[in-house]
Every structure is written in C-alpha cells, then in structure tokens.
Amino acid sequence: MTLLVKQVTGYSNDWTLKDFVRNCGEDIKLDIAPDSVEVNKIFSDGVGTVLFAYKIGCVGGIDPVIVKYFAFKNGVKYSLRGEEHIIVGSEGFGGEKAPVPDFNLRNDKSLLKYMMGKWDSISTTKIN
C-alpha cells in the first residue's frame, strides 16, 4: 500500500510525501488524524504551513503503530515521529517514549512547541 500526499499550486508541485507498507501478511493500518490537518499561518509571516499526521503500520490485532506528524513550511519538511498510544477501556499501552523531532523541527522552536502540544491528541487511539 502506498500513501501519496502533495501540494500543488497552479501547475507547480510544491512538495510530495510518499509512504509505504510493504510485505504485510496481516492488516494494514492507515489512519489520518483528522484534528491534525490544517493550514496555519502563524509560523511563516502569513504564508500557510501545512500540517497533518497519520498512523501507519502492519498489525495483527490491536497493536500500536508508528505515528508521523508532518509540517511543510516554505517547501521544507518538518517531522515528529513516535508510537501510537492505545487506550482500551481504562488501560493504555504503547507510546511510552517521547516522539522524536527531525533536524529541521528541532531548529524551529515555535513549530516544535506547537506540534508537541498536539501530540497526545494526535497519537492517542481510544477503543471502547
């Protein structure tokens, strides 16, 4: 399975993101985090920063997968990656380690703070 996301302005491809799940003998999980999808103009002088996150992996039951939270600002990719936190009833598992920002995100403190502030809601899946 392939995920392809891109931003096109006019006839110009501003950026493209591809991700894959290969050779999965179980179930493929790909969930877009709806609350993560936004165009925010506070990070780059009125120019929209595109943000979105998704959970992706190969699972054989109720298993945490990788969470990837991206921002694209002025054509530059910023990412925060970690593990999904799953809550079943009153029990939770997965996502024990803090998410890891890439080099670009570590060097943009305001964007890092913003994305870290949304991480818990984006990375958590509640199953009743």
Q: What does the pLDDT look like over 43-91, one tens digit per residue?
A: 877 788 999 999 999 999 899 999 999 999 988 999 999 999 999 999 9
Please tell me the predicted confidence (pLDDT) of residue 9: 81
Report how many domains make up the chain: 1
- pLDDT at 93 exceeding the cut of 80: yes
Q: φ and ψ at 59, to 5 degrees?
A: -130, 150
The model's confidence at residue 2, banded by pLDDT at 50, 70 and 90, is confident
Please tell me the predicted confidence (pLDDT) of residue 7: 85
- pLDDT at 92 exceeding the cut of 90: yes
Please tell me the predicted confidence (pLDDT) of residue 32: 94
User: Which letter does DSSP use for residue 42 in this model?
Assistant: T
Please tell me the predicted confidence (pLDDT) of residue 38: 95
- Domain with 57, as residue range(s), is 2-127
Please tell me the predicted confidence (pLDDT) of residue 26: 95
- Separation of alpha carbons 122 and 128, rounded Å: 18
Please tell me the predicted confidence (pLDDT) of residue 101: 99
The model's confidence at residue 13, banded by pLDDT at 50, 70 and 90, is confident
- Separation of alpha carbons 127 and 87, rounded Å: 6
Q: φ and ψ at 34, to 5 degrees?
A: -55, -40
Residue with tokens 């994305």: 115
Q: What does the pLDDT look like over 102-118, one tens digit per residue?
A: 999 999 999 999 999 99
